[in-house]
Amino acid sequence: MIDTKKIEQLARQVHDAMPQGIRTLGDDVEKKIRQVLQAQLGRMDLVNREEFDIQTQVLLRTREKLTALEQRLAALESQSTPDVPVVVADADAEDHKPSAAE
């Protein structure tokens, strides 16, 4: 999940940014900040950088495969007989009856 060193560093930065009067309370404030940060970050659905990079690579490979399949499909479609029209069923065709004007 989240590196505890990063949380500690963030807690120190928040602690250092506080007014001097509050900072004099010492370690208790820093511990509380660390606890709150860990609790809040724990509720988030976060992944570490390594997992993110792995998923990025998986997505890249998937896109490459999709592109290859699209090209293959286009090639197969172009090889099929172009003389034969493709009939697509139209749901409105049943409702429409030719009139004498047509």
Contact 55, 62 (CB under 8 A): no
Q: What digits encode the pLDDT tens for the residues 4-31?
A: 788 788 877 887 787 777 766 776 777 8
Q: Are residues 53 and 68 in the same domain?
A: yes
Closest CA to 37 of 74, 68, 12, 57: 12
Please state the pTM of the whole predicted model.
0.42
Q: Are 24 and 42 in the same domain?
A: yes
Tokens (6 digits) for 63: 């896109």
Whether 31 maps to a domain, the answer reads yes
Q: Which amino acid is at 49?
A: R
16 vs 26: CA distance, rounded Å:
11
The boundaries of the domain holding residue 72 are 47-79
Tell me: do 54 and 40 sit in the same domain.
no
Closest CA to 16 of 33, 3, 2: 33
Q: Which amino acid is at 62?
A: T
Q: pLDDT (tens digit, 9 = 90+) per residue, 86-101?
A: 566 655 555 555 555 5
In one-letter notation, the amino acid at residue 18 is M
35 shares its domain with 52: no
User: What total number of domains does the chain contain?
Assistant: 2
87 located within any domain: no
Query: Does residue 55 share a domain with residue 40?
Result: no
